[in-house]
Structure 1
């Protein structure tokens, strides 16, 4: 299902938005992240998929592969560390903590009694736990009933203390806020709510790294369309704001993709304000199974996202399999269930003459996709994709070395 955003604007990046998210702060975050050993060196791959482009009737498809971002396997490794660094520097301005020394554990003795907490669908909590371990502070993660056990164990392996609740993601956000208030801890969340925007802003600023690298790798302004995963909206806001500031009226047409059962951004577009999902908020796309739009992210998407669409779970699974198999000229790619959502949205739109016309998709379209995660739950990935992740990666390496 496709919904146009009548309020979307092109042209000069709005000054009120630049005061919140801007290229200067995003590039500063990128420099700080470059010193953290929790990330793999260099930019993530930007794959060209010519056979898939021909199959879908577009000029080109480029896929930015965040599964290679770090051992954590997702783009979330860009947001949580930056938010934690900036929080600590704000709390102790007199200490003048150096970001590179923070992530190297130089101040562990001073921060060992400092505790952060967050709710998560898996990837954000894992990234926060990893950053907290490097910095030397304590980390508590609230998990809801739908979080896969593999993701829970990965967080525990990184030293995160788990609090499990019998509710959904939105209820885990409320529980994290309650526990922080009770114990004097600090919430480091990737979603905003009333009275809580500074840290989600910092998280979103970290995601600007994805846009910056893509521009450097793909050339100046080659993309006509970008399909971005929804969730609470933070990733989309972080990426499209960077593109809007950089390219202005030449920015790509932005399409937000989310599960049909977790359609909070789609509903926000219908209502013209941050809204709740109308479905069960239960989806195989765990990282996108969010019921409440981040009000801060919506400020950006309300005028920078051109269209919103929902997809069924089966579409994401099929997209995982397509990427895993590759093609004669397309490298095989490990994409988790949320990571494949952008491609699933493109496939769905490409199969409808009405949607193609509405989006201006044709043989001259240059489409950017984001693979937001690799196999962050390996057993689940194998079950859904029909391949082991290591098999797909071996095939990828063979293709690159041929």
Structure 2
């Protein structure tokens, strides 16, 4: 197995509190809303030699196998409101869809490694809109089929995820709205709403910890693709008065955030990016996320595919179905807190046997065949 790469911040800073109850209220109106489970992972905790590991299990979020619908739905709603609002008060999506009918046809466009595009397509279905989803050529058939099952038109790009993002941006118009979770020059409004949408995860976590009479975690491990989810974690955890540290995790083959942190400026990692952590195969960090990642991450780690597979198996032993990208946070903790020179890294992060950690398992088995192969025989 390839050795992981590490980055430790010389210092971090806090950011103003930005929690909005409006986001959670919106999500609670979506079909089938309920808070996803916060579960204990004792097997993983023993492997990490810490007191407690909590896992926020996003394998079933609003009927989809990943957390992405939270950002995609909120960003879609806010972008539709910008173009066609203000909307009258509504309680169900069918009521909102009626207000959109005079403006049809409207097409939502997104580039994706899988979960974000499917989420955008689901939102289009719920609202009676059309969806066109652009995907890189190396996307596995099961993820392509899942997107098509939502009623979307699938366009396969002969290139990487980053090239799919570029192609999607070129298709924007008054009736073709690009719902992207990464930003570029002149395009920040929608990605900012995507990040806001993810805040529901952490509002739920705070409430669940309070119900369990559990302490706030000492450290959160979060996966990084373009960095949107990680920036949401930083905005939640790195506020005045909170002491939770944030660690970002990405594949060795696509460690654009870690390389940017090392260089002190946004740095591209050219493709091809062939990690099994498909949702994290990104060569460019979102410029919108970058200030939060640079200012708020205590550490970053890039892990090999074997590390993700090991984390999937450990989580499975704790009864948690976590896909390749979903288990990346746990893989990062294993790389940081175990193995050669682990004591030095633990000391830098202030982690002891009495520490409590939080992992966000961002997806279930989105590639079921590969998942079964990896966890077979545990």
Question: Considering the TM-score relative to the shorter chain, is it more than 0.5?
Answer: yes
Unaligned runs of 5+ residues in structure 1 are 327-331, 393-402
Aligned to 1:244: 238
**Higher mean displacement: 172-181 or 47-56:** 47-56
Deviation at 1:70, TM superposition (A): 2.7
Point out the structure with the larger helix share: 1
CA distance in 1, matches of 2:155, 2:299: 37
Aligned to 2:79: 87
Alignment partner of 2:285 out of 290, 293, 296:
293
Aligned to 1:337: 324
Q: Is the 8 A contact 2:13 2:238 kept in 1?
A: no
Q: Is the 8 A contact 1:36 1:103 kept in 2?
A: no
Q: Give the ranges of 4+ consecutive aligned residues of structure 1 lying more than 4 Å apart after TM superposition.
A: none
CA distance in 2, matches of 1:159, 1:279: 30
Q: Is the 8 A contact 2:108 2:121 kept in 1?
A: no
Alignment of 1:63-102 (within 5 A): 63-96=55-88, 98=90, 100-101=92-93
1:161 aligns with 2:153: yes
When normalised by structure 2's length, the TM-score is 0.92
Aligned to 1:398: none
Q: Is the 8 A contact 2:135 2:156 kept in 1?
A: yes
Give the secondary-structure state (helix, strand or coil) at the position aligned to 1:192.
coil
**Higher mean displacement: 86-95 or 368-377:** 86-95
Q: Is the 8 A contact 1:233 1:298 kept in 2?
A: yes
CA distance in 2, matches of 1:225, 1:34: 28
Alignment partner of 1:360 out of 334, 347, 350:
350
Alignment partner of 2:368 out of 356, 365, 378:
378
Give the secondary-structure state (helix, strand or coil) at the position aligned to 1:163.
strand
Q: Deviations over 1:270-326 (max 9, x none)?
A: 122222126642210001111100000112112111111110001001111111123
Aligned to 1:33: 27
CA distance in 2, matches of 1:370, 1:103: 33
Deviation at 1:68, TM superposition (A): 2.4
Provide closer, same or farther for how the CA distance between residues 184 and 93 of structure 1 changes in structure 2, counting only shifts above 3 A: closer
1:282 aligns with 2:274: yes
CA distance in 1, matches of 2:353, 2:95: 46
Deviation at 1:93, TM superposition (A): 2.7
Alignment partner of 2:297 out of 299, 305, 308:
305
Alignment partner of 1:116 out of 101, 104, 108:
108
Q: Is the 8 A contact 1:111 1:136 kept in 2?
A: no
Q: Is the 8 A contact 1:112 1:138 kept in 2?
A: no
CA distance in 2, matches of 1:317, 1:279: 22
Q: Is the 8 A contact 1:225 1:367 kept in 2?
A: yes
Q: Is the 8 A contact 2:44 2:315 kept in 1?
A: no
CA distance in 2, matches of 1:122, 1:371: 16
Alignment partner of 1:23 out of 19, 24, 28:
19
Aligned to 1:192: 183
Unaligned runs of 5+ residues in structure 2 are none
Deviation at 1:239, TM superposition (A): 2.3
Deviation at 1:48, TM superposition (A): 1.1
RMSD of aligned alpha carbons: 2.0
Give the secondary-structure state (helix, strand or coil) at the position aligned to 1:223.
coil
CA distance in 1, matches of 2:329, 2:271: 20
Alignment partner of 1:126 out of 118, 131, 136:
118
Give the secondary-structure state (helix, strand or coil) at the position aligned to 2:253.
coil
Q: Deviations over 1:20-46 (max 9, x none)?
A: xx202xx21111111111xx4321111
Give the secondary-structure state (helix, strand or coil) at the position aligned to 2:353.
coil
